[in-house]
Structure 1
Amino acid sequence: MIELIDIQKRFGDLHVLKGISLQFAEGSVTALVGPSGGGKSTLLRCINLLEVPTSGTVRIGQASVSFEPNRKVGWKSIQALRRQTGMVFQNFQLFPHRTAIENVMEGLVTVLGWDKPRATKRATELLERVGLAQKADAWPATLSGGQQQRVAIARALAPSPRVLLCDEPTSALDPELAEEVVDVLAGLAREGTTMVMATHDLRLASRIAQEVVFLDGGVVAEKGPARDVFKDPKAERTRRFLASLQAVSKANEADGSGV
């Protein structure tokens, strides 16, 4: 179980998250959707404490960290929670001087202290899982964007995190390459991987998410089963936002550029 309790986040005078409380069940896939600036990515980064909440509580499994203004949380507490998460970034963030397999191995060796044979075996299994076993020795610069993102997914999965966090995982890719990533994430969802993703990609969200949380202005404007939110949203703001995304999607399809 992943639980957020009254999460507040301020950047100076800017109040980005305004008391978010959510639960994400083990094995579930949740899509965070909403307009740019609504708080999706900030909330996602608060789960693994890449952004430290101003106040509130983050709980993942048995690990729990509470925050208060002007009170510093110990590094060990942050690490105990962060190590239960894997993060997939919008722009891949692979090490350019490491091969694909070395990128997947890096955290296992340098952070967790695994020996090289064990890390190599784990990395090889994960590259096969994302369909890139044949690219193990390739440099990131020689891979397509979709392939780089799939390596990044393998890297995030390497330490067997309790939850996989994906921040706009397809937004930097053209439609054909994005489909590769959607297929991999859909496969992980079928296997029961717990995922929380911030996305504008309705194809991704509607295909694999079981739950949808619509964020606007730093608050939860609507949440519920994906089929209900996408087909019959209750909030007018949700309806207008989804209609705008669908209009853009149709326009892109008409001019041949895809979603």
Structure 2
Amino acid sequence: MIELSHIVKTFGDHTVLNGISVTIREGSVTALVGPSGGGKSTLLRCINLLEIPTSGRVRIGAEAIDFRPQVRVPFAEVQKLRRQTGMVFQNFQLFPHRTALGNVIEPLVTVLKWPHAKAVARAEELLDKVGMAHKRDAWPAELSGGQQQRVAIARALAPSPRVLLCDEPTSALDPELAGEVIEVLVGLAREGTTMVIATHDLRLAAGIAHEAVFLEAGEVVEKGEARRIFSAPERERTQRFIATLTQEARQHQTPDAAR
């Protein structure tokens, strides 16, 4: 289970997150939705401590850290919590000088110190899972955006994290390539992978999320069962936002999807 309690994040005088409290069940998928600048990506990065909260508590499983203003948390404690997460970024962030296979084995041999043969076996298993086994020896520059993102998902899964964090995983892709990535994430959700996904993609959010959290101006406007949030939100602000997403999704439908 992941618990975020009263998370505040400030940059100078600007408050980006203002007292966010969210609980994420193990084996569930939670979608973070809301307008740009609402705090989705920052909240996601506070879970794995790429951004250190100004105050509040982050718990992942048995590991928890309390944050207070101007109190530095030891790096060893940060690492203990961070290693329970895997992160998928909007712009892939593959190593350009590593093949698809090399990208996936990198965290295993560099961070976890796995033997090379064991790391290769794990990487090949994951590349097969995301439909990229046939591209194991390809360089990132030789892959489409959707293929790069699928390799990035395999890399994030390599150390068997407790939770997979995805920051706008389809926003840099056209609808067809986004569909490839959504298919992979749907498969992971069916297997019970715990995921938190910040996204504007209604197909992705409505298709796999169990819970949804609508954020605006660093605060939770509405949260609850994803099906209810996306079909019958209670707050007027959420209604307007979901209506906008629905309209955008219709505009981006392929001819086959529209028939």
Q: CA deviation at 1:64?
A: 0.6
Equivalent AA in structure 1 for residue 83 of structure 2 = R
Distance (whole Å) between structure 1 residues aligned to residue 43 and residue 19 of structure 2: 11
Distance (whole Å) between structure 2 residues aligned to residue 188 and residue 251 of structure 1: 27
Matched with 2:164 is 164
Matched with 2:48 is 48
Distance (whole Å) between structure 2 residues aligned to residue 96 and residue 80 of structure 1: 28
The answer as to 2:52 corresponding to 1:59 is no
Equivalent AA in structure 2 for residue 206 of structure 1 = A
Q: Residue 60 of structure 2 contacts residue 84 of structure 2 at CA under 8 Å; is this kept in 1? A: yes
Matched with 1:6 is 6
Matched with 2:71 is 71
Q: Residue 33 of structure 2 contacts residue 198 of structure 2 at CA under 8 Å; is this kept in 1? A: yes
Q: Could you tell me the TM-score, scaled by structure 1's length?
A: 0.97
Provide structure 1 residue ranges, at least 5 long, that are not aligned to the other structure. Answer: none
Q: CA deviation at 1:255?
A: 9.8
- Mapping for residues 80-91 of structure 1, pairs under 5 Å: 80-91=80-91
Distance (whole Å) between structure 1 residues aligned to residue 255 and residue 146 of structure 2: 22
- Mapping for residues 132-211 of structure 1, pairs under 5 Å: 132-211=132-211
Q: Residue 7 of structure 2 contacts residue 53 of structure 2 at CA under 8 Å; is this kept in 1? A: yes
Matched with 2:18 is 18
Equivalent AA in structure 2 for residue 175 of structure 1 = P
- Mapping for residues 28-43 of structure 1, pairs under 5 Å: 28-43=28-43
Provide structure 2 residue ranges, at least 5 long, that are not aligned to the other structure. Answer: none
Equivalent AA in structure 2 for residue 17 of structure 1 = L
Q: Residue 99 of structure 2 contacts residue 136 of structure 2 at CA under 8 Å; is this kept in 1? A: yes
Two-structure CA RMSD over aligned residues (Å): 1.5
Q: Residue 203 of structure 2 contacts residue 249 of structure 2 at CA under 8 Å; is this kept in 1? A: no
Q: Residue 175 of structure 2 contacts residue 252 of structure 2 at CA under 8 Å; is this kept in 1? A: no
1:177-234 Cα distance to aligned partner (Å, 9 max, x none): 0000000000000000000000000000010001000001111100111111111000
Equivalent AA in structure 1 for residue 217 of structure 2 = G
Equivalent AA in structure 1 for residue 148 of structure 2 = Q
Q: Percent identity?
A: 68
Equivalent AA in structure 1 for residue 247 of structure 2 = A
Q: CA deviation at 1:152?
A: 0.2
What is the aligned residue count? 258
Equivalent AA in structure 2 for residue 41 of structure 1 = S
